[in-house]
Amino acid sequence: MPSPFPGMDPYLESPREWSGVHARLIAEIGALLVPQVRPRYFVGIERRLYVCTAEDPASRHIVADLAVARQEAVRPRAERGSGGAVATAPVVLTMLDDIEFSEPWIAIRSADGTETITVIEVLSPANKTAGSRGRSEYLQKRSEILHSQVSLVEIDLLRDGERFPSLDPLPPAEYYAHVSRPARRPKGEVWPMRLREPLHVIPIPLAGKDPDARLDLGEALRQTYDRGGYDVHLRYGRPPDPPLAPAEVKWAAQILKRGGWKPA
Protein backbone atom coordinates (compact mmCIF):
# COMPACT_ATOMS: atom_id res chain seq x y z
CA MET A 1 0.00 0.00 0.00
CA PRO A 2 1.54 3.38 -0.98
CA SER A 3 2.00 6.33 1.34
CA PRO A 4 -1.16 8.44 1.64
CA PHE A 5 0.86 11.63 1.09
CA PRO A 6 1.49 12.96 -2.44
CA GLY A 7 5.15 13.82 -1.81
CA MET A 8 7.36 13.41 1.22
CA ASP A 9 5.66 11.48 4.01
CA PRO A 10 6.22 13.55 7.20
CA TYR A 11 5.93 10.40 9.34
CA LEU A 12 9.17 9.11 7.80
CA GLU A 13 11.05 12.08 9.31
CA SER A 14 10.90 10.76 12.87
CA PRO A 15 14.38 10.38 14.40
CA ARG A 16 13.37 6.85 15.39
CA GLU A 17 12.67 5.97 11.75
CA TRP A 18 15.18 8.02 9.82
CA SER A 19 18.20 5.70 10.06
CA GLY A 20 16.32 2.95 8.25
CA VAL A 21 14.60 5.35 5.84
CA HIS A 22 17.94 6.99 5.04
CA ALA A 23 19.71 3.70 4.29
CA ARG A 24 16.86 2.41 2.13
CA LEU A 25 16.51 5.71 0.27
CA ILE A 26 20.23 5.79 -0.55
CA ALA A 27 19.96 2.24 -1.93
CA GLU A 28 16.89 3.11 -4.05
CA ILE A 29 18.58 6.23 -5.45
CA GLY A 30 21.55 4.10 -6.45
CA ALA A 31 19.28 1.50 -8.05
CA LEU A 32 17.52 4.18 -10.15
CA LEU A 33 20.82 5.67 -11.33
CA VAL A 34 22.76 2.51 -12.24
CA PRO A 35 20.81 1.67 -15.44
CA GLN A 36 21.24 5.28 -16.63
CA VAL A 37 25.00 5.56 -16.16
CA ARG A 38 26.46 2.10 -16.83
CA PRO A 39 28.85 1.11 -18.35
CA ARG A 40 30.71 4.43 -18.22
CA TYR A 41 30.19 5.01 -14.50
CA PHE A 42 29.99 3.10 -11.24
CA VAL A 43 27.50 4.08 -8.52
CA GLY A 44 29.06 3.37 -5.14
CA ILE A 45 27.59 3.61 -1.66
CA GLU A 46 30.17 4.94 0.79
CA ARG A 47 29.99 5.47 4.55
CA ARG A 48 31.11 8.33 6.77
CA LEU A 49 32.08 7.22 10.30
CA TYR A 50 32.38 9.41 13.37
CA VAL A 51 31.93 9.16 17.13
CA CYS A 52 29.02 10.87 18.85
CA THR A 53 29.54 11.65 22.53
CA ALA A 54 26.96 12.20 25.24
CA GLU A 55 27.58 15.96 25.07
CA ASP A 56 26.97 16.16 21.32
CA PRO A 57 23.83 18.24 20.50
CA ALA A 58 22.78 15.56 17.99
CA SER A 59 23.08 12.67 20.45
CA ARG A 60 19.33 12.60 21.10
CA HIS A 61 18.70 12.08 17.38
CA ILE A 62 21.35 9.40 17.04
CA VAL A 63 20.26 7.51 20.13
CA ALA A 64 16.66 7.55 18.93
CA ASP A 65 17.87 6.51 15.47
CA LEU A 66 19.72 3.52 16.88
CA ALA A 67 16.77 2.57 19.09
CA VAL A 68 18.81 2.47 22.28
CA ALA A 69 16.92 5.21 24.09
CA ARG A 70 14.37 2.85 25.61
CA GLN A 71 14.16 2.89 29.37
CA GLU A 72 13.03 -0.31 30.93
CA ALA A 73 11.73 0.24 34.44
CA VAL A 74 11.69 -2.63 36.89
CA ARG A 75 8.90 -2.45 39.46
CA PRO A 76 10.60 -1.93 42.82
CA ARG A 77 10.14 -4.84 45.22
CA ALA A 78 10.67 -4.18 48.88
CA GLU A 79 12.57 -6.78 50.88
CA ARG A 80 13.40 -6.42 54.53
CA GLY A 81 17.04 -7.09 55.27
CA SER A 82 18.98 -7.45 58.49
CA GLY A 83 18.66 -4.61 60.96
CA GLY A 84 15.31 -3.55 59.50
CA ALA A 85 16.78 -1.97 56.32
CA VAL A 86 14.58 -2.12 53.20
CA ALA A 87 16.22 -3.33 49.97
CA THR A 88 14.45 -2.55 46.69
CA ALA A 89 15.15 -3.72 43.17
CA PRO A 90 16.92 -1.04 41.08
CA VAL A 91 15.40 0.79 38.13
CA VAL A 92 17.26 -0.29 34.98
CA LEU A 93 18.04 2.60 32.59
CA THR A 94 19.92 2.86 29.33
CA MET A 95 23.03 4.99 29.90
CA LEU A 96 24.49 6.85 26.94
CA ASP A 97 28.10 6.06 26.06
CA ASP A 98 30.15 7.17 23.05
CA ILE A 99 28.55 5.81 19.87
CA GLU A 100 30.26 5.20 16.54
CA PHE A 101 27.78 6.49 13.98
CA SER A 102 27.74 5.63 10.27
CA GLU A 103 26.08 7.62 7.49
CA PRO A 104 25.80 6.36 3.87
CA TRP A 105 26.23 8.57 0.82
CA ILE A 106 26.56 7.99 -2.92
CA ALA A 107 29.63 8.51 -5.10
CA ILE A 108 29.34 8.29 -8.88
CA ARG A 109 32.80 7.35 -10.16
CA SER A 110 34.41 6.51 -13.47
CA ALA A 111 33.93 2.84 -14.32
CA ASP A 112 37.45 1.97 -13.17
CA GLY A 113 36.90 3.83 -9.89
CA THR A 114 39.82 6.22 -10.31
CA GLU A 115 37.83 9.47 -10.60
CA THR A 116 34.92 10.76 -8.52
CA ILE A 117 32.39 12.59 -10.70
CA THR A 118 29.44 13.38 -8.41
CA VAL A 119 28.69 13.03 -4.71
CA ILE A 120 25.05 12.67 -3.56
CA GLU A 121 24.21 13.46 0.06
CA VAL A 122 20.84 12.79 1.69
CA LEU A 123 20.90 14.88 4.86
CA SER A 124 20.27 13.34 8.28
CA PRO A 125 19.23 14.91 11.61
CA ALA A 126 22.88 14.76 12.74
CA ASN A 127 23.96 16.73 9.64
CA LYS A 128 21.39 19.41 10.48
CA THR A 129 22.00 19.87 14.22
CA ALA A 130 23.97 23.06 14.95
CA GLY A 131 27.21 22.47 16.86
CA SER A 132 27.17 18.69 16.40
CA ARG A 133 30.00 16.47 15.21
CA GLY A 134 27.76 15.23 12.42
CA ARG A 135 27.20 18.73 11.05
CA SER A 136 30.89 19.59 11.39
CA GLU A 137 31.88 16.47 9.42
CA TYR A 138 29.24 17.18 6.77
CA LEU A 139 30.22 20.85 6.34
CA GLN A 140 33.92 19.98 6.09
CA LYS A 141 33.29 17.41 3.39
CA ARG A 142 30.91 19.81 1.63
CA SER A 143 33.57 22.53 1.57
CA GLU A 144 36.15 20.12 0.15
CA ILE A 145 33.80 19.10 -2.66
CA LEU A 146 32.83 22.69 -3.49
CA HIS A 147 36.53 23.51 -3.90
CA SER A 148 37.10 20.56 -6.24
CA GLN A 149 36.02 19.47 -9.71
CA VAL A 150 33.38 17.12 -8.26
CA SER A 151 29.67 17.86 -8.61
CA LEU A 152 27.60 17.90 -5.43
CA VAL A 153 23.93 16.95 -5.01
CA GLU A 154 22.29 17.62 -1.64
CA ILE A 155 18.82 16.28 -0.82
CA ASP A 156 17.10 17.61 2.31
CA LEU A 157 13.86 15.79 3.14
CA LEU A 158 13.74 16.87 6.78
CA ARG A 159 11.73 19.87 7.99
CA ASP A 160 13.71 20.28 11.22
CA GLY A 161 17.24 21.55 11.64
CA GLU A 162 19.73 23.74 9.80
CA ARG A 163 19.64 23.99 6.02
CA PHE A 164 22.63 23.71 3.72
CA PRO A 165 24.56 27.02 3.67
CA SER A 166 23.62 29.58 1.01
CA LEU A 167 24.51 33.25 0.57
CA ASP A 168 21.09 33.88 -0.96
CA PRO A 169 17.99 33.07 1.13
CA LEU A 170 16.31 29.82 0.20
CA PRO A 171 12.77 30.03 -1.23
CA PRO A 172 10.02 29.03 1.24
CA ALA A 173 9.59 25.26 1.30
CA GLU A 174 9.68 22.24 3.60
CA TYR A 175 12.22 20.28 1.52
CA TYR A 176 15.03 21.10 -0.89
CA ALA A 177 17.38 19.64 -3.47
CA HIS A 178 20.61 21.41 -4.48
CA VAL A 179 22.85 20.64 -7.45
CA SER A 180 26.29 22.27 -7.63
CA ARG A 181 28.33 21.92 -10.83
CA PRO A 182 32.05 22.87 -10.83
CA ALA A 183 31.72 25.04 -13.96
CA ARG A 184 28.91 27.15 -12.46
CA ARG A 185 30.19 27.74 -8.92
CA PRO A 186 29.53 29.66 -6.76
CA LYS A 187 26.05 29.47 -8.33
CA GLY A 188 23.97 26.38 -7.68
CA GLU A 189 20.56 25.10 -8.73
CA VAL A 190 17.99 24.70 -5.94
CA TRP A 191 14.62 22.95 -6.15
CA PRO A 192 12.26 23.90 -3.30
CA MET A 193 9.66 21.18 -2.61
CA ARG A 194 6.46 21.72 -0.65
CA LEU A 195 4.85 19.20 1.67
CA ARG A 196 1.59 19.14 -0.29
CA GLU A 197 3.27 18.56 -3.66
CA PRO A 198 5.01 15.61 -5.36
CA LEU A 199 8.79 15.48 -5.08
CA HIS A 200 10.78 16.66 -8.09
CA VAL A 201 12.88 14.96 -10.73
CA ILE A 202 16.36 16.45 -10.45
CA PRO A 203 19.42 16.26 -12.73
CA ILE A 204 22.52 14.32 -11.68
CA PRO A 205 25.64 15.74 -13.38
CA LEU A 206 28.07 13.41 -15.12
CA ALA A 207 31.46 14.05 -16.72
CA GLY A 208 32.30 16.10 -19.78
CA LYS A 209 29.54 16.31 -22.37
CA ASP A 210 27.64 13.30 -21.09
CA PRO A 211 23.98 14.23 -20.52
CA ASP A 212 22.73 14.41 -16.96
CA ALA A 213 21.13 11.38 -15.38
CA ARG A 214 17.66 12.02 -13.98
CA LEU A 215 16.73 11.21 -10.40
CA ASP A 216 13.02 10.87 -9.72
CA LEU A 217 12.90 11.58 -5.98
CA GLY A 218 9.23 10.66 -5.82
CA GLU A 219 9.91 7.21 -7.28
CA ALA A 220 12.88 6.68 -4.97
CA LEU A 221 10.68 7.50 -1.98
CA ARG A 222 7.83 5.28 -3.20
CA GLN A 223 10.20 2.33 -3.52
CA THR A 224 11.68 3.08 -0.09
CA TYR A 225 8.20 3.15 1.47
CA ASP A 226 7.01 0.00 -0.29
CA ARG A 227 10.09 -2.19 0.23
CA GLY A 228 10.35 -1.04 3.84
CA GLY A 229 6.73 -1.99 4.59
CA TYR A 230 6.06 1.40 6.17
CA ASP A 231 2.33 1.15 5.47
CA VAL A 232 2.03 -1.41 8.28
CA HIS A 233 4.65 0.14 10.54
CA LEU A 234 4.06 3.89 10.78
CA ARG A 235 1.69 5.15 13.47
CA TYR A 236 -0.56 7.38 11.41
CA GLY A 237 -3.04 7.71 14.26
CA ARG A 238 -0.57 9.91 16.15
CA PRO A 239 0.90 13.32 15.26
CA PRO A 240 4.18 13.08 13.31
CA ASP A 241 7.57 13.82 14.88
CA PRO A 242 8.56 16.58 14.29
CA PRO A 243 5.04 18.09 14.41
CA LEU A 244 3.50 19.73 11.39
CA ALA A 245 3.01 23.46 11.11
CA PRO A 246 -0.48 24.50 12.28
CA ALA A 247 -1.54 25.26 8.71
CA GLU A 248 -0.73 21.69 7.64
CA VAL A 249 -2.38 19.75 10.50
CA LYS A 250 -5.92 19.86 9.07
CA TRP A 251 -4.65 19.06 5.57
CA ALA A 252 -2.72 16.01 6.82
CA ALA A 253 -5.75 14.80 8.81
CA GLN A 254 -7.87 14.96 5.65
CA ILE A 255 -5.21 13.07 3.67
CA LEU A 256 -5.08 10.32 6.30
CA LYS A 257 -8.86 10.11 6.55
CA ARG A 258 -9.15 9.60 2.79
CA GLY A 259 -6.50 6.88 3.08
CA GLY A 260 -8.53 5.06 5.72
CA TRP A 261 -6.37 5.86 8.75
CA LYS A 262 -8.09 6.93 11.94
CA PRO A 263 -6.68 8.70 15.01
CA ALA A 264 -5.64 6.39 17.84
Residues 6+ apart with CB under 8 A from 237: 261, 262, 263, 264
pLDDT level of residue 91 (50, 70, 90 thresholds): confident
pLDDT level of residue 260 (50, 70, 90 thresholds): confident
64-73, 91-100, 143-152 — most confident range: 143-152
**Segment 42-54 mean pLDDT:** 79
pLDDT tens digits, one per residue of 12-26? 999 889 989 999 999
Is the CB of residue 40 less than 8 Å from the CB of residue 118? no
The predicted pLDDT at position 7 comes to 97
Q: Is residue 191's pLDDT more than 50?
A: yes
Is the CB of residue 41 less than 8 Å from the CB of residue 109? yes
The predicted pLDDT at position 67 comes to 44
Of 137 and 168, the one with more pLDDT: 168
pLDDT tens digits, one per residue of 224-258? 999 999 999 999 989 999 999 998 999 999 999 98
Average pLDDT of the residues of the chain: 86
pLDDT level of residue 73 (50, 70, 90 thresholds): very low
Q: Is residue 40's pLDDT more than 80?
A: yes
Is the CB of residue 32 less than 8 Å from the CB of residue 221? no
- pTM, rounded to two decimals: 0.83
- Of 77-81, 82-86, 202-206, 207-211, the least confident: 77-81
The predicted pLDDT at position 84 comes to 61
Q: Is 134 helix (H, G, I), strand (E, B) or coil?
A: helix
**Segment 62-89 mean pLDDT:** 51
DSSP annotation of 189: E
DSSP annotation of 14: -
Residues 6+ apart with CB under 8 A from 11: 17, 230, 234, 235, 236, 240
DSSP string for 41-101: EEEEEEEEEEEE-TT-TTHHHHHHHTT-----PPPP--EE-GGGPEE-PPPP-PPP--EEE
CA nearest to 211, candidates 28, 34, 37: 37
**Segment 89-98 mean pLDDT:** 63
As a whole number of angstroms, the distance between CA 211 and CA 132 comes to: 37
The predicted pLDDT at position 79 comes to 54
**Segment 60-84 mean pLDDT:** 48
